[in-house]
Structure formats: structure tokens, C-alpha cells
């Protein structure tokens, strides 16, 4: 499968697996496209729960940095990330995430749109947007302060240091922390339990709890600033540093 997204349906549960473990499940445009399509068809079909999980030791290393660099250089390829985030934010189907290892960038911000988050004990939530000279996305500039409070959200975004599973749990970013070996089983159990509930009631309740108009407006605003940041000299330095396996030197590209 070229998009590196595996889909599997069992009963009313649709499992979407990030399957690019050799690249730490870094998300490509094709992967966003496959995720967007899968959520879209689940939302209009008879799926009761969407479960997002990942192969390997890392939930996801976030957006593919090679693709970010190409986008900054004005690639004309159609981008699916906005469609993925919009579908994830607005689906009335409950979404569960099972997270092991690092969840970087969108790997963490997507969790704010999930309805039940199960973390393995080794999970780490990392939001290094500013370290990459970018800004946070997925309406996280609105949703993260709301969820964890401004002080913690600012610190997470400004420093990009890992938030460990136990803190993520305390701060309300997750529902459950489980041993790594039982992550898949525990998440599937929650999915089956939710799938057995009256689907119309769960969907209506979820839709009432989510402020989709506000969230979509914030996503659009973030997206236009994000696109500008991608083209900045600072971001080009950050992507070059990752490709060359060195620390970025922002002093040399410091602008006004």
C-alpha cells in the first residue's frame, strides 16, 4: 500500500494503522490523503468507532520533514493535511487513539480531536513546532490551552520538550495509561465498548461537545500563518539541519 496506512474493519470498529515504521511513521501527503478518505467514508457509513494506532516503537514522528521542506519551496502538489484535520475534527464518529513511544507534532495535536486516548507507559507527547520555526496547527493554539491551561500549553509549544504519559494523564490529555504490551488490546476493548453503545446518542453527544465552528476557524487562521512560516529562512534552516543531522543555527538567519 503506497500510502502506508492500513485499514481494518471488525464489527463497527474501523482501525487505521500508521504503517511507516522505518521512518518512525512520519506522515506524508499520501498518508494524510488516505486518513482523510477513511474518516470521510466512515463518517457517512455504518462505522461506530474509529481507532487510530501505529506500527513500530513510535506513534508518529509528525509531518514528514522532507515534504515540509519541499512545500516551503512551493511544491504544487495538492495537500491533504487540511482535509485530514477537518474530517478528524468534524466527524461525529467517536475516535480512539492508541499511542506508544513518541507522538511528535501533529501526532500530539491530533489527539486533541480524539475522544478517548490510551497511552502506553512509554508514550511521550512532543510539540516542537517553534523549534522548527513553525507554529502549532490543528487548532491546537486554541484547544491545548483550553485542555491543559495556558501555562502548560505555552511551555509545551515554546520548548517542545516531551510530556511523559503520567503527566499527560494528569493534565487531561489522555484517559488511560497502560503497559506497552497491552496497548492494542486495551484500546480495542474501549473501542468495542463504545461501539456497543447507541451510536446515534454517542454521535449527537460528541457533536454537542465539540466546538467545530470555532475549531475550523482557528485551523484556517493557523494554516495561513503556517504556510508563510514554511517558506521562512528560519524554517529552511531547521529542515536543512534535520536532513544534515545537526543542530539548527537560527542566529545566522535572524531577520528583523
Nearer to ligand COA, 115 or 237 (CB): 237
Residue span binding ligand COA (CB under 6 A) among the ranges 32-40, 63-71, 117-125, 177-185: 63-71
Tell me the number of residues near ligand COA by CB under 6 A. Answer: 16
Cβ atoms within 10 Å of 251's Cβ, excluding its own? 7
Smallest gap from residue 183 Cβ to ligand COA (A): 18
Q: How many CB atoms lie within 10 A of CB 217?
A: 13
> Quick one: 61 or 112, whose CB is closer to ligand COA?
61
What is the enclosing helix (H) or strand (E) of 187?
Answer: helix 183-195
Least CB distance to ligand COA at residue 206 (A) = 27
- Please identify the residue of the shown chain whose CB is closest to the bound ligand COA: 105
Residue from 33, 105, 184, 248 binding ligand COA (CB under 6 A): 105
CB neighbours of 185 closer than 8 A, spacing ≥ 6?
Answer: none
197: phi then psi, degrees, rounded to nearest 5? -75, 165
- Per CB under 6 A, 161 contacts ligand COA: no
62 contributes a contact to ligand COA by CB under 6 A: yes
Q: Does 56 bind ligand COA (CB under 6 A)?
A: no
Q: Which of 80, 86, 102, 113 binds ligand COA (CB under 6 A)?
A: 102
210 is a site residue for ligand COA (CB under 6 A) = no
Residue 116 host element (H or E): strand 116-120
Amino acid at each position: 500500500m503506497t500510502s502506508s496506512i492500513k485499514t481494518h474493519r471488525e464489527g463497527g470498529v474501523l482501525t487505521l494503522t500508521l504503517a511507516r515504521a522505518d521512518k518512525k511513521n512520519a506522515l506524508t501527503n499520501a498518508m494524510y490523503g488516505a486518513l482523510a478518505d477513511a474518516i470521510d467514508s466512515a463518517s457517512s457509513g455504518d462505522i461506530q468507532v474509529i481507532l487510530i494506532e501505529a506500527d513500530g516503537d513510535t506513534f508518529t514522528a509528525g509531518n514528514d520533514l522532507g515534504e515540509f521542506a519541499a512545500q516551503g519551496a512551493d511544491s504544487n502538489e495538492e495537500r491533504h493535511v487540511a482535509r485530514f484535520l477537518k474530517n478528524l475534527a468534524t466527524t461525529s464518529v467517536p475516535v480512539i487513539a492508541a499511542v506508544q513511544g513518541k507522538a511528535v507534532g501533529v501526532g500530539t495535536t491530533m489527539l486533541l480531536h480524539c475522544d478517548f486516548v490510551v497511552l502506553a507507559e512509554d508514550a511521550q507527547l512532543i510539540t516542537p513546532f517553534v523549534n522548527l520555526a513553525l507554529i502549532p496547527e490543528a487548532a491546537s493554539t486554541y484547544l491545548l490551552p483550553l485542555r491543559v491551561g495556558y501555562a502548560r500549553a505555552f511551555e509545551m509549544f515554546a520548548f517542545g520538550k516531551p510530556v511523559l504519559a503520567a503527566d499527560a494523564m494528569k493534565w487531561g490529555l489522555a484517559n488511560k495509561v497502560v503497559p506497552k504490551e497491552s496497548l492494542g488490546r486495551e484500546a480495542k476493548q474501549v473501542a468495542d465498548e463504545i461501539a456497543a453503545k447507541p451510536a446515534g446518542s454517542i454521535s449527537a453527544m460528541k457533536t454537542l461537545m465539540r466546538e467545530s465552528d470555532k475549531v475550523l476557524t482557528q485551523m484556517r487562521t493557523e494554516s495561513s500563518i503556517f504556510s508563510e512560516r514554511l517558506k521562512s529562512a528560519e524554517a529552511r534552516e531547521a529542515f536543512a539541519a534535520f536532513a544534515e543531522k545537526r543542530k539548527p543555527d537560527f542566529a545566522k538567519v535572524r531577520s528583523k
